[in-house]
Amino acid sequence: MRSAFLLLLGLFGASCLPAQQTTLSGPVEAITFDGPTRSLRAVIGFPGSASFGPALMDSLEFASVAPHQNYGIVFEGGKCLFVSDLNLKKISKVAIANITAYPDGIVWSANGSLAILYSRAARLFQTIGGFPGTPVAEAAIDVSSLGGELTAIAVDASGKQIAVAVSGADGGVYRSADGQFTRLASMAKPESLSFSSDGQTLYALDSATGQVTAASLGGHGFQTLDLPGIANPIAIQSLADSQNRQLLYVAGGSDRMLRIVDVASQQIVMDLPLNFQPTSLDPFGTGSFVLASRSQSANPLWLFARTPQPGAYFVPAIQLRRPDHRIPVIPGRPR
């Protein structure tokens, strides 16, 4: 199974059912917040033959779904809500109290137990734990004492370790615990962070040097990975493959490429040319990442997926007659 979970794609006949009343069935790569339509939608099918499902929720200000789960966080009508049962006709909503600031983004632990809301402008982040039971928001953590601009934040797979990055003359990467910060590495422009699958190593991309620093969280040792041929690295992600090799994925923005590196040998596994400019490298489904979100209604969603073969795939743009009434679209194909 490509997806870690299945939803039910229900009868979607001549007239479309309203949002929150559609029961879905079939393999689901992930549920995503679609900015142009302000809705939560499932990406149904496997990359290369996937399409957007009908809106599960709409009229949202922002939303994020936990990886491989049927629950997430939405901002609706100025309120922060925990939503669950996204695979059922009736979606459950519960308000989450004590949210300090409207976030720029949300980062989830891989097991879906912890979410981190962050605001670069306010230079703070706030954790919400207790998923999938009763989510509780902890007090916001102010990073302004670190002196730079908040540029990146990451959490390990179990939701136990948090790392933050700030840029500036005294920029660096820090481990955060109980409101205290421990410097792990110094770098002027840390752009992206990612924990290894076992949580023992933190990878940090420094866009000033074009290098990735691998910091051992146990022994405090360092390893530097060069990125020859990539002039504009914008994001990294770490993921173990089926052979338990730790692979590092690197997105090159204006380079229009995705590189996969075997961390242990520092050998390039693949350089994948892209015919579009990637803007992110965010976890999506099982072994897939978002390379470019839909910023406009005419844009597709661009994904990288390891199967059916490693490559870039697009999910076609949503075409609407009127809200929540879809026109059939042709599934995306690898480019």
Find the mean pLDDT for residues 211-223. Answer: 89
270-285: burial string, b at 16+ Cβ within 10 Å, e else: eebebeebbbbbbbbb
Question: Is the pLDDT at 294 greater than 90, yes or no?
Answer: yes
Can you give the pLDDT at residue 25? 56
Assigned domain for 302 exists: no
Query: 83 vs 104, 142, 186, 270, 290, CA distance in Å?
Result: 19, 27, 39, 38, 22
Question: Is the pLDDT at 323 greater than 70, yes or no?
Answer: no
What whole-number percentage of the chain has pLDDT above 70? 87
Assigned domain for 293 exists: no
Residue 42 β-bridge partners: 31
Can you give the pLDDT at residue 207? 93
Can you give the pLDDT at residue 218? 84
The set of residues, in sequence order, having a beta carbon less than 8 Å from that of 84 and lying 6+ positions away, is 70, 71, 91, 92, 132
Assigned domain for 264 exists: yes
Query: pTM to 2 decimals?
Result: 0.87
**Tokens encoding 323:** 């809200």
Mark whether 117 and 235 lie in a shared domain. Answer: yes
Query: 46 vs 230, 312, 328, CA distance in Å?
Result: 29, 12, 17
Can you give the pLDDT at residue 321? 53
Question: Is the pLDDT at 84 greater than 60, yes or no?
Answer: yes
**Tokens encoding 151:** 């540029």
Position 308 confidence tier, pLDDT thresholds 50, 70, 90: confident
Find the mean pLDDT for residues 314-321. Answer: 84
Mark whether 141 and 265 lie in a shared domain. Answer: yes
CATH of the domain at 214: 2.130.10.10
Burial of residue 220, with CB atoms counted within 10 A of its CB: 0-12 exposed, 13-18 middle, 19 or more buried: exposed
Boundary of a domain, candidates 266, 283, 300: 283
Into how many domains does the chain fold?
A: 2
Can you give the pLDDT at residue 18? 39
Position 1 confidence tier, pLDDT thresholds 50, 70, 90: very low
Can you give the pLDDT at residue 142? 96
Can you give the pLDDT at residue 89? 87
| Preceding peptide of 132 cis, ω within 30° | yes
Assigned domain for 3 exists: yes
**Tokens encoding 55:** 């809106």
User: How confident is the model over 92-120, as pLDDT tens digits?
Assistant: 999 999 999 999 999 999 999 999 999 99
* Rounded Cα–Cα distance for residues 103 and 289 (Å): 21
- What is the three-class DSSP state of 146? helix
Find the mean pLDDT for residues 4-18. Answer: 32
Find the mean pLDDT for residues 145-160. Answer: 96
Can you give the pLDDT at residue 5? 34
Which range (157-166, 190-199, 243-252, 323-332) has the least confidence?
A: 323-332
Mark whether 161 and 51 lie in a shared domain. Answer: no
* DSSP track, 2-35: -SSSEEEE----SSPPPTT---EEEEEEEEEEET
Mark whether 267 and 121 lie in a shared domain. Answer: yes
Residue 185 β-bridge partners: 173
User: Domain span at residue 1?
Assistant: 1-95
User: How confident is the model over 134-143, as pLDDT tens digits?
Assistant: 999 999 999 9
Q: What's the DSSP call for residue 330?
A: P
Assigned domain for 36 exists: yes
Mark whether 120 and 73 lie in a shared domain. Answer: no
Can you give the pLDDT at residue 169? 86
Boundary of a domain, candidates 61, 95, 129: 95
Mark whether 77 and 44 lie in a shared domain. Answer: yes
Q: 3-state SS of the chain: helix, strand, coil percent to 5?
A: 0, 50, 50
* Rounded Cα–Cα distance for residues 190 and 246 (Å): 21
Cβ count within 10 A of residue 198? 14
User: How confident is the model over 143-152, as pLDDT tens digits?
Assistant: 999 999 999 9
| Preceding peptide of 67 cis, ω within 30° | no
Assigned domain for 300 exists: no
Assigned domain for 297 exists: no
What backbone torsions phi and psi does residue 146 show, to the nearest 5 degrees? -80, -10
Fill in the amino acid letter for 70.
Answer: N
Q: Are strands 233-240 and 222-226 parallel, antiparallel or unpaired?
A: unpaired
Position 131 confidence tier, pLDDT thresholds 50, 70, 90: very high
User: How confident is the model over 28-81, as pLDDT tens digits?
Assistant: 999 999 999 999 999 999 888 999 999 999 999 999 999 999 999 999 999 999
Mark whether 135 and 217 lie in a shared domain. Answer: yes
* Rounded Cα–Cα distance for residues 245 and 298 (Å): 38
Question: Is the pLDDT at 295 greater than 80, yes or no?
Answer: yes
Position 10 confidence tier, pLDDT thresholds 50, 70, 90: very low
Can you give the pLDDT at residue 320? 65
